[in-house]
């Protein structure tokens, strides 16, 4: 049993390191690349060998104290922290894909065909031609939401349910 556990953790470590080395990160309801939702800011900094920090002015709402930072060397990713824990990742440019190869610019029909569980469809709060396509993880605590404008994904974000339900993110 111990041998199986050692092999399992070795394989996970190898996968995380290869993701860091290759630069080929993917997003799903658990996280982005080697980062996992729920990690502390210190854990993220240690893993990435970075110096991300909470800005002097952070927002406060019902979910807690929040802020966003752009990830160094990954300008197309914004990380949202709530109470110093990674809660959400936002993508608003093509290039970074989900595990199912969805990216900004894909059509809503591609999202509906490829994303599992099948996304729930909601009308966009601000854009008449917009939709939210939201797929929750089986635990119901995490998910991924695609904002679709005029039939195309304009942005998407993954993370903890409370974080992806925030319409304005935390900008």
Per-residue model confidence (pLDDT) at position 59: 67
More confident residue, 169 or 12: 169
DSSP 8-state symbol, 95: T
Least confident of 8-17, 49-58, 64-73: 8-17
> In the prediction, which pLDDT does 58 show?
63
Q: How far apart are CA 169 and CA 165, in angstroms?
A: 8
Please report, for the chain, the start and end positions of each structural domain, with discontinuous segments joined by +.
25-164
Residue with tokens 């039939």: 151
Write out the DSSP string of 142-169.
EEEEEEEETTEEEEEEEEEHHHHT-TTT
Q: Which residue has the higher pLDDT, 156 or 2?
A: 156
- 25-164, CATH topology level: protein yfey like fold (2.60.460)
pLDDT tens digits along 99-153: 999 999 999 999 999 999 999 999 998 988 899 999 999 999 999 999 999 999 9
pLDDT averaged over every residue in the chain? 83
Measured at the alpha carbon of residue 154, what is the angle toward residues 39 and 159, in degrees to the nearest 5? 15
Q: In the predicted model, is pLDDT for residue 158 greater than 60?
A: yes
Q: Is the pLDDT of residue 14 over 90?
A: no
Q: State the alpha helices, DSSP H only, in the chain.
A: 2-22, 41-48, 108-114, 161-164
Which pLDDT score, from 0 to 100, does residue 75 have?
A: 63
Q: What is the mean pLDDT of residues 13-28?
A: 58
């Amino acid at each position: 049993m111990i041998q199986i556990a050692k092999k399992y953790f070795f394989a996970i470590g190898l996968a995380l390191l290869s993701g860091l080395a290759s630069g080929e990160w993917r997003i799903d309801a658990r996280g982005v690349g080697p980062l996992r939702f729920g990690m502390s800011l210190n854990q993220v900094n240690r893993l990435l060998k970075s110096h991300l920090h909470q800005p002097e002015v952070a927002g406060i709402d019902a979910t807690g104290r929040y802020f966003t930072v752009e990830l160094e060397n990954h300008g197309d990713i914004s990380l949202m922290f709530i109470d110093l824990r990674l809660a959400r990742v936002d993508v608003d440019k093509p290039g970074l894909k989900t595990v199912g190869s969805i990216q900004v610019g894909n059509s809503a029909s591609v999202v509906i065909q490829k994303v599992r569980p099948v996304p729930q469809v909601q009308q966009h709060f601000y854009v008449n031609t917009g939709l939210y396509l939201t797929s929750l993880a089986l635990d119901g605590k995490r998910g991924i939401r695609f904002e679709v404008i005029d039939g195309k994904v304009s942005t998407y974000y993954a993370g903890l349910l409370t974080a992806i339900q925030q319409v304005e993110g935390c900008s």
